[in-house]
Amino acid sequence: MSTPVPALAAELRVSLSRASRRLKAERGDAALPDPQFNVLAFLHRDGPMTPGQLAEAEHVQPPSMTRTVNCLVELGFVRKDEHPTDGRQVVVSLTEEGQAEVVETRRRRDAWLTARLTAMTPDERDRLADAIELLRRIATS
């Protein structure tokens, strides 16, 4: 008997939320809060950005992003440089320390997941691999 769609939706929401929270608990040595780590991750993936671009990417107001960026500058994870064409703007870039924090956090998260996947049976891992494509479709629609 198939699970009713509303019940499946509720169970999936709860399971994804719990898994996401647990995964995010695996952090680098700086133990940055999610908003700060997200900025580092955007810069790692997309390269230097203005605070306005970062605010748009994170769906926050520019003043909030400015505070986040300034905190990351103080911690030595990012630097602010002059914008090449607009003197009113700055460009935010990762420092070596910021890059190392992203790499270490991702390594720890991958290690946590690898340990959980290793404990599963081959059949369970195959079922999970099939579910990944379905989750990808949900996330992009």
**pLDDT tens-place string over residues 90-127:** 999 999 999 999 999 999 999 999 999 999 999 999 99
Q: Which two tokens stand for residue 87?
A: 């003197």
> Is pLDDT at 1 greater than 80 in this prediction?
no
Q: Could you identify the residue written with the tokens 């992003």?
A: 65
Query: Is pTM beyond 0.95 here?
Result: no
Helix (H) or strand (E) holding 136: helix 122-140
Dihedral angle over CA of 91, 93, 95, 96, nearest 10: -150
> Is pLDDT at 11 greater than 80 in this prediction?
yes
Q: Which two tokens stand for residue 128?
A: 């999970």
Mean pLDDT computed over every residue of the chain: 95
Q: Which residue has the higher pLDDT, 86 or 119?
A: 119
Helical H segments across 1-95, by residue range: 5-24, 34-46, 51-58, 62-75
